[in-house]
Amino acid sequence: MPIAPNTSYVAGWGTLALINAGLAQGKRRSGLNWFLASLLLGPLATFLLVAFCDEGKRG
């Protein structure tokens, strides 16, 4: 009987956090901050990032 949580669940949550960090950097936000937020909030962080964070001004 494994002691660790379901590994596919953990891998999916971690992958989502990495995707959110990349998405945040593309919107000129802190990738590290969004990575950490995603570890805590998961899909809710993705929704917040997509719905409420506009791209920063370029140039």
Query: Is residue 31, in this structure, part of any structural domain at all?
Result: yes
Q: Residue 32: inside a domain, yes or no?
A: yes
Return per-residue pLDDT of the chain as tens, 59 residues.
566 667 778 888 999 999 999 999 999 999 999 999 999 999 999 999 999 988 765 54
Would the pTM of this model clear 0.75, i.e. be above it? yes
pLDDT at 2: 60
What DSSP element (H or E) covers 25? helix 7-26
Which pair of structure tokens corresponds to residue 19?
């995707």
The pLDDT of residue 58 = 55
Q: Is 42 inside a domain boundary?
A: yes
Residue range of the domain that includes 32: 7-52
Q: What is the pLDDT of residue 59?
A: 47
Report the alpha-carbon angle 23-26-28, nearest 5. Answer: 115
Number of domains in the chain: 1
Collect all residues with Cβ–Cβ distance below 8 Å to 19 and sequence separation of at least 6. 46
- Are 53 and 29 within 8 A, CB to CB? yes
- Selection from 27, 30, 31 nearest residue 58 by Cα: 27
Is residue 11 a part of any domain in this protein?
Answer: yes
Residue 14 located in a structural domain: yes
